[in-house]
Amino acid sequence: MRKNKPPLPPRERALGLLSRREHSARELKRKLQQKGVAPDEAGDVVGEMGERDYQSDTRFAESLVRRRALDGYGPLRIRAELASHGIVREAATAAIATAEVDWMLIAKRVFSAKYREIEPADHKERQKRAAWLSARGFDGTAVRAVTRAEVDD
């Protein structure tokens, strides 16, 4: 048990978090503060981790894009999630653009996995399916192409 162990110094705690997975600077600072590190000290530690290239918002963004694409999410939802982690729009756009991902293929795969029936019953059902795909973060072009592919192909 950890009853008698002293708390880890902020730098060690940050290194421990970063050794498990990439973190954005905002996320790392928040986690340090949750463990009782003063905001100024947490900011200093996060800055140091960035200077030493132990923490990188660019690497974090690239990692998150890959993970979420594999989970079947589209670029719009991923961009919003990156923003929630403090990643600026330009960096998020760059991470999404440089990811070697076929967004249309992902949209088709998640759609066909969810909706195994070939033909929607009516227009209302087609709208429901389109809304679901849109909520997963795919743009209108992908949504239209995938939801109409059943009828047009």
pLDDT at 151: 40
d(C-alpha 29, C-alpha 43), whole Å: 6
d(C-alpha 136, C-alpha 102), whole Å: 15
Predicted TM-score of the model (pTM): 0.84
pLDDT tens digits in sequence order for the chain, 153 residues long: 556 778 889 999 999 999 999 999 999 999 999 999 999 999 999 999 999 999 999 999 999 999 999 999 999 999 999 999 999 999 999 999 999 999 999 999 999 998 887 676 788 888 898 999 999 999 999 999 998 754 433
Determine contact, residues 129/90, Cβ cutoff 8 Å.
no
DSSP 84: H
In the 3-class helix/strand/coil scheme, how is 16-75 assigned residue by residue? HHHHHCCCCHHHHHHHHHHCCCCHHHHHHHHHHHHHCCCCCHHHHHHHHHHHHHHCCCCH
CA distances from 92 to 63, 75, 123, 141 (A): 11, 10, 35, 20
Q: Which domains does the chain have, with CATH numbers?
A: 10-98 (1.10.10.10), 103-152 (1.10.10.10)
d(C-alpha 56, C-alpha 114), whole Å: 35
